[in-house]
Amino acid sequence: MLGRAVAERLVADGHDVRTLQRSGSGVVGARDVAGSVTDPDAVRAAVRDREAVVHLAAKVGITGRPEQFEDVNVEGTRLLLAEAGAAGVGRFVHVSSPSVAHLGRSLAGAGAAPADPAHARGPYARTKAAAELLALAADVPGGLRVIAVRPHVVWGPGDTQLVGRVVDRARAGRLPVLGHGAALIDTTYVDNAVDALVAGLEADARAYGEAYVVTNGEPRPVVELMAGICAAAGVPMPRRHVPAALARGAGSVLDAAWRTFPLPGEPPLTRFVAEQLSTAHWFDQRRTREALGWTPRVSLDEGLARLAAWTARQASAAAP
């Protein structure tokens, strides 16, 4: 969702855009290179004669073999940085995640703390933390300039991560509220995330070599956020409460089961997800907005209204 939206925005702004992904981007006006960030030939073809790279490719998820996350998130980033530098690319926007510095405790008004692969929670966060450190280490004034942007919980119409999971579990009656649901969580509407990444491309050189967290700047209690998504999607709102400590313990047990046995799909809960839904994580945006010259233009409530309108259109199109 985010990669396609960024490519569409850059095409609309008049840029010559080339995409690298495993299937066609579907972006009118962009030229596609089919391949993976783990494929040297595909990466080399993608970055040839480019002025800038926005690196959004990642192995995302809460389950999977550790080597899959390592190959794509760490080694893929290493390869892309090397080929971009060799091709004379000037600017590199590395799309990271606040989870690279989330250690399982509440984050209230936090800044962009250093990425910590040793203590980040789960294979995705650990490998994204290692990748961010690689990216920022490659920043060279006069050479490849690298900036890391950490959009937090990006969502919008068509989102399969936050929105998709909340809606699917609510529809199946499997969406409990952890604890009292009062933990404040900030999120990022997709259009705001796109604006921030484009701002990263255009930022003053003094902003490079550092990481910036991007959010809407509107923290809400997690139960209110989930209720808003459910209402926009027309599915039942969460009613059942589960003690947070119990959910974290259950998540740890399910993590171990999915690591040990060849179980299908994703576990219904993981320790990482339980921590994310029961601890505050919202961020001080002053430094980000000053460095990137960016402010979010779509409020959380406007984003929910857009999600509701999109859901209605999808339902109308599917009706006989």
Q: What is the CA radius of gyration of the chain?
A: 19
- Could you give the CA distance from residue 115 to residue 220 in angstroms, rounded to a whole number? 25
Going by C-alpha positions, the residue among 62, 69, 66 that lies closest to residue 255 is: 62
Question: What angle in degrees, to the nearest 10, is found between the helix axes of 222-233 and 300-318?
Answer: 30
Beta bridge partners of 242: 178
Residue 232: what residue type?
A
CA 263 to chain centre: 26
**In 3-state terms, what secondary structure has residue 179?**
coil
Annotated catalytic, 124?
yes
**Taking the mean position of all CA atoms in its chain, how far away is CA 45?**
25
- Listed in sequence order, the residues at least 6 apart from 56 whose beta carbon sits closer than 8 Å to its beta carbon are 2, 3, 6, 95
Give the DSSP letter string of 32-75.
Answer: EEES-TT-HHHHHHHHTT-SEEEE-----SS-S-HHHHIIIIII
CA distance 93 to 135: 9
| Tokens coding 308 | 């509701």
Annotated catalytic residue within 124, 189, 208, 212: 124
| Residue whose pair of structure tokens reads 């089961």 in the numeric block | 257
The two three-digit tokens of residue 208, written as one number: 């490079």
Sorted by sequence, the CB contacts under 8 Å of residue 316 that are 6+ apart come out as none
Q: Three-state SS for 221?
A: strand
Who's near 157: CB < 8 A, 6+ residues apart? 190, 306, 307, 310, 311
Q: Which residue numbers are catalytic? A: 124
